[in-house]
Amino acid sequence: MMIQETCDPSTKTTAVASHLCARNLIGGLGPVVASALSTSVGLQTALLIAPASYLLSAIGFGRADKLVREQNARRAAL
């Protein structure tokens, strides 16, 4: 997990717990957001937004993972 790679050993558990808490709180808003959007853009379009947001999230996490790996490689080279 990327969080465990970037944190100090003494803060790993707190960082992972914070990440999971935020992810679950934000993920729990999905049905509420789809319901709110369904009145303005229609139910089908509102439900298509969820997979699109997952795709954007995957791209963001992929980019962050690449940056962390580059940073770790630079640290190892020193």
Q: What pLDDT shows up at residue 76? A: 85
Number of domains in the chain: 1
Highest mean predicted confidence (pLDDT) among 2-11, 24-33, 35-44, 54-63 = 35-44
Residue 1 — pLDDT band, cuts 50, 70, 90? low
What whole-number distance in Å separates Cα of residue 63 and Cα of residue 70? 11
Residue 49 — pLDDT band, cuts 50, 70, 90? confident
H or E element in which residue 76 lies: helix 43-77
Host domain of residue 11: 2-77
- Could you tell me the pTM of the whole model? 0.54
Contacts of 47 (CB under 8 A, 6+ apart): 34, 38
